[in-house]
């Protein structure tokens, strides 16, 4: 694996390229005086990437390798990557120096902090340290719960922004878009590119990214979905097309932006007055923006003529058409709106959690759980569903391992389908 990654330019959908710029970010491996760099000429390798919660890279964490007369150490680089090399095949022990982990982060389960590796069977052994927020026993369970609930609300607001788009598109066209999550990734990656590579201020970068995602949504509808609707392609067929498109979309993002998880440069300083809740000023502002955007959508759908027409189309599109509503125009507006909202979600998600090329696809599970829980096709229900999902995913970390919290969303999804498949606010479908 090479440490030097070249960055290709900037993706825009289906041949529309806004800007191209070739730049190089050389990942400078962080080396502290006490740990020497691994000798790349030695043939036996132990390597890994330290990710907090499986997503955020941890830099500068010390990893030790001992055994067979060797005692080496190395610090993880900004991608969380570390590599240790030895000359002889033997059994070694790799351990993480837990004192070098950021506060509140620990190895979970703790016995995994030290692991045996056997370099007699392979010359290149990957090691994974499961890292996550550890329950700090000095903090009361209530304080932890408050923290989780607050962060769950934060996640729920972001999920709501992204999943309302799925819901609106489903409502007006009847089709579940499996490529929706990738717009989240696009928003985050564009923001990263503009802030970290071009050096733009975050407000400008975020605004441009949101508009660009909105534009990409318009293009997706115009180039793919509208022609397919006109061909009267079946809904199941459309779903498969959306899966194919999602693969194309995702790998284009990968090719243009590279595979590393990106830090969008948001503050990591906890806001003191919120204690015991740990949050950052970026997150707080992001939550404010999400809340305003969601309120805006609610007003748009209930108060404006176009919003009312949108709901009429969702209710019964042929009836709406017969009352003179231009259904195609409504669908176009819905796509743009969905793109803008998902763009906001992408920017804020990237700032809050960091992001990579497949972030949006990874959270698709949460988005569909939210829309199903709320009732496919109902925007208000979706927002409520999203917030519930966010709260459950975050608080479930108190009882299940952090790397399995997303599974709680699947659990809810299945539970909803068993008990109330039309969702909290959905209606039953009709039969000829």
Partner 1 sequence: MANEIAKGPAAPGVAKVDPILVADGVRREFGGLVAVDVEHLEIPRGKITALIGPNGAGKTTLFNLLTGFDKPNTGKWTFQGRDLAGVPAFKVARIGMVRTFQLTKALSLLTVLDNMRLGAKHQPGESLLRALVRPLWRKREAEITVAAEELLKRFKLDAKSDDFAASLSGGQRKLLEMARALMSKPVLVMLDEPMAGVNPALTQSLLEHIKGLKDDGTTVLFVEHDMHMVRHISDWVIVMAEGRIVAEGPPNEVMKNPAVIDAYLGAHHDSDLGADKIAKEAN
Partner 2 sequence: MDLIVALQSSFGELITAGTAAFVLCAIGLAIHFGFTGLLNFGQAAFAAVGAYGYAIAALDFKAPLVLSVLFGLLCAVIFAVLLGIPTLRLRADYLAIVTIAAAQVFKFVATSSAITDPSGNVITGGAEGLSEFGGTFYSLNPVPAGEYQVFGNSLTQDQIWVDIVGWLLVVVCALLTYFLTRSPWGRALKGIREDEDAVRSLGKNVYLYKMQALILGGCMAALGGMVFVINSQTVQPTVWGTNFTFTIWTVLLLGGATTVLGPIAGGVVFFTLFAFIQKVLEGLVAIHWMGSLTIPQVGQIRLILVGLALMLLVIFRPQGLFGNKKETLFNG
Binding footprint of ligand ADP on the chain (CB under 6 A): 428, 430
Token digits for 319? 């009836």
CB of 314 to partner 1, least distance (A): 14
Position 36 contacts partner 2 (CB under 8 A): no
Among the candidate windows 37-45, 65-73, 325-333, 423-431, which touches partner 1 by CB under 8 A? Answer: 423-431
DSSP 8-class letter at 280 = B
Look up tokens 């389908």; give the residue: 417
Helix/strand number for the chain, H first, E second: 13, 13
Binding mask 162-201 for partner 1 (x = CB under 8 A): ----------------------------------------
Binds 231, which of partner 2, partner 1, ligand ADP, none (CB < 5 to 8 A, cut-off by type)? Answer: partner 2
Position 420 contacts partner 1 (CB under 8 A): no
Dist. CA 67–CA 23, nearest whole Å = 42
159-178: contacts with partner 2 (CB under 8 A): 176, 178
Among the candidate windows 242-250, 280-288, 370-378, 424-432, which touches partner 1 by CB under 8 A? Answer: 424-432
Count of residues of this chain found to bind partner 2 when the rule CB under 8 A is applied = 58
Distances (CA, A) of 217 to 14, 48, 166, 178, 274: 11, 37, 12, 13, 37
Token digits for 328? 């195609």
Cβ-based nearer residue to partner 1, 305 or 430: 430
Out of 43, 234, 288, 296, the residue judged to bind partner 2 by CB under 8 A: 234
340-399: contacts with partner 2 (CB under 8 A): 361-362, 364-365, 368-369, 372, 376
Q: What is the DSSP string of 51-104?
A: EETTTEE--S-EEEEEETTEEEEEE--TTSEEEEEESS--EEEEEE-GGGSPTT
Binds 362, which of partner 2, ligand ADP, partner 1, none (CB < 5 to 8 A, cut-off by type)? Answer: partner 2
Taking phi over 0 as left and psi of -120 to 50 as alpha, with beta for the rest, 108 belongs to beta
DSSP 8-class letter at 32 = -
State the helix-helix crossing angle for 141-173 and 281-303, rounded to 10 degrees: 40
Distances (CA, A) of 269 to 54, 102, 138, 394, 428: 21, 12, 21, 20, 47
CB of 176 to ligand ADP, least distance (A): 20
CA angle, 357 then 360 then 361, to 5°: 90
CB of 253 to ligand ADP, least distance (A): 40
List interacting residues with partner 2 (CB under 8 A): 6, 8, 22, 109, 111-112, 126, 128, 130, 176, 178, 224, 228, 231-237, 239-241, 243-249, 251-252, 254-255, 361-362, 364-365, 368-369, 372, 376, 400-401, 403-404, 406-407, 409-410, 413-414, 417-418, 421, 429, 431-432
């Amino acid at each position: 694996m090479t440490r030097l990654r070249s960055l290709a330019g900037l993706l825009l959908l289906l041949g529309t390229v806004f800007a191209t710029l070739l730049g190089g970010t050389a990942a400078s491996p962080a080396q502290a005086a006490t740990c020497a760099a691994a000798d790349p000429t030695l043939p036996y390798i132990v390597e890994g990437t330290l990710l907090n919660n499986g997503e955020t890279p941890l830099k500068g964490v010390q990893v030790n390798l001992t055994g067979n007369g060797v005692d080496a150490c190395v610090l993880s680089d900004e991608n969380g990557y570390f590599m240790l090399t030895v000359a002889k095949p033997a059994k070694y022990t790799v351990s993480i120096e837990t004192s070098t982990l950021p506060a509140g982060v620990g190895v979970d389960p703790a016995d995994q902090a030290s692991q045996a590796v056997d370099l007699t069977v392979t010359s290149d052994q990957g090691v994974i340290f499961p890292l996550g927020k550890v329950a700090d026993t000095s903090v009361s369970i209530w304080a932890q719960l408050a923290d989780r609930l607050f962060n769950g609300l934060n996640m729920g607001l972001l999920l709501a922004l992204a999943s309302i788009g799925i819901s609106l598109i489903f409502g007006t066209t009847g089709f579940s878009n499996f490529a929706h999550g990738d717009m989240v990734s696009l928003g985050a990656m564009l923001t990263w590119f503009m802030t970290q590579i071009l050096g733009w201020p975050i407000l400008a970068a975020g605004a441009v990214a949101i508009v660009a995602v909105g534009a990409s949504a318009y293009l997706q509808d115009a180039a793919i979905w509208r022609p397919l609707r006109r061909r009267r392609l079946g809904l199941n067929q459309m779903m498969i097309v959306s899966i194919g498109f999602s693969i194309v979309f995702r790998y284009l993002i990968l090719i243009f932006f590279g595979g590393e998880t990106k830090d969008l440069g948001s503050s990591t300083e906890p806001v003191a007055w919120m204690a015991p809740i740990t949050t950052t000023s970026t997150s707080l502002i992001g939550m404010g923006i999400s809340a305003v955007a969601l309120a805006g959508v609610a007003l748009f759908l209930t108060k404006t003529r176009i919003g009312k027409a949108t709901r009429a189309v969702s209710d019964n599109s042929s009836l709406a058409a017969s009352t003179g509503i231009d259904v195609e125009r409504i669908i176009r507006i819905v796509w743009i709106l969905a793109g803008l909202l998902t763009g906001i979600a992408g920017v804020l998600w990237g700032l809050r959690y960091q992001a990579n090329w497949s972030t949006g696809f990874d959270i698709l599970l949460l988005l569909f759980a939210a829309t199903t829980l709320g009732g496919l096709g109902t925007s208000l229900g979706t927002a409520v569903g999203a917030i519930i999902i966010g709260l459950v995913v975050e608080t479930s970390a108190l009882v299940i391992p952090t790397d399995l919290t997303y599974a709680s969303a699947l659990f809810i999804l299945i539970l909803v389908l068993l008990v109330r498949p039309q969702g909290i606010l959905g209606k039953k479908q009709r039969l000829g």
